[in-house]
Amino acid sequence: MFSFVVALPVFVTLCVAAPQAPQSAAPAPPPAAAAATSGSNKEPIPIVSQTDENNPDGSFQFSFETGNGIKVEEKGYLKDGANASEKIQVIEGSVSYTDSDGNPVNLKYIADENGFQPEGDHIPKAPDSQLGAQPNVAGPIAPQPYSSQSAQPAQSAQPAEPAQPAPPGQPAGQ
Q: Specify if 78 maps to a domain.
A: yes
Counted domains in the chain: 1
At residue 155, the pLDDT reads 53
Confidence of residue 125 (pLDDT cuts 50, 70, 90): confident
Q: Specify if 99 maps to a domain.
A: yes
Q: Specify if 43 maps to a domain.
A: no
Contact residues for 50 (Cβ-Cβ < 8 A; gap 6+): 62, 63, 64, 65
Across 14-23, 105-114, 117-126, the highest mean pLDDT is recorded for 105-114
Q: Specify if 7 maps to a domain.
A: no
Q: Specify if 22 maps to a domain.
A: no
Q: Specify if 10 maps to a domain.
A: no
Domain that holds residue 91: 55-122
pLDDT by residue (tens digit) across 138-166?
A: 555 555 555 555 455 555 555 555 556 66
Confidence of residue 50 (pLDDT cuts 50, 70, 90): very high
Q: Specify if 141 maps to a domain.
A: no
Q: What is the DSSP string of 7-46?
A: HHHHHHHHHHHS-SS---SPPPPPHHHHHT-BTTB-SPPP
Q: Where are the alpha helices (DSSP H) in the chain?
A: 2-17, 31-35
